[in-house]
Amino acid sequence: MSKIFYFDVETTGLDPIKNDIIQLAGIIEIDGVVKEEIEFKCQPTSYKDISWEALNVNGATLDKIKTFSDHSECYDYLLAIFDKYINKFDKKDKFIPAGYNVSFDIGFLFEWFKKHNNKYCGAYIDYHKIDPMPVLLMLDLKGTLKLNGFKLTEVCDQLGIELSGAHDALNDIRSTRELCKKVLTYLK
């Protein structure tokens, strides 16, 4: 049984230790069937190290962030979703994380768990990952594709994948899932 957690985060900066998740969106796919889409916007665990440049990228403001849900409530919500689909005591039952440049998102997710006094994110998330970015680079180098850039917006535009409202986690992850499907067609 394949369990994939396509997800994307928007954050208050680039450092998962100093900065925080302020939006997370995900698509849970089991054996090729979408079971659930999730999304939440949450306040950071700390307002100390907010990068204003990061907020500009994702269109957030300090006033707007203060209206988001409490981070602890969002963490509890995500944990309940994970527990619904994963038996955290079964070492073989885990989500394969998927996303565009997903290592960034994985780093934030693991640190977010730690900030909520839980060092067991790995009970839910496998260490393998699905990321179309390196495959796109290889296809470009091979000449199968000729890409003008590797930002998600650029790649989606060039491959005819709709991406409305970039840097919104839910829009980004929906487009990334479609991008993964498209990349698979080049590998057949």
69: left (phi over 0), alpha (psi -120 to 50) or beta: beta
Based on the domain organization, do 17 and 100 belong to the same domain?
Answer: yes
Whole-angstrom distance, CA of residue 57 vs CA of residue 154: 16
Is residue 101 located within the same domain as residue 157? no
Tell me how far the alpha carbon of residue 140 is from its chain's centroid: 24
Nearest to 41 by CA among 5, 15, 66, 7: 66
Which pLDDT score is estimated for 4?
98
Question: What's the Rg (C-alpha) of the chain?
Answer: 17
User: What's the pLDDT at 164?
Assistant: 82
Question: What is the C-alpha to C-alpha distance for residues 179 and 8, in angstroms, rounded to an integer?
Answer: 14
Listed as ranges, residues in the chain with pLDDT below 70 are none
Is 69 in the same domain as 154?
no
- In one letter, which amino acid is 92? K
The predicted-structure confidence for 102-117, as pLDDT tens digits, reads as follows: 999 999 999 999 999 9
Domain, as residue range, for 99? 3-123
Q: Are residues 20 and 72 in the same domain?
A: yes
Q: Are residues 143 and 175 in the same domain?
A: yes
- Name the CA dihedral angle for 62, 64, 67, 70, rounded to a multiple of 10 degrees: -60
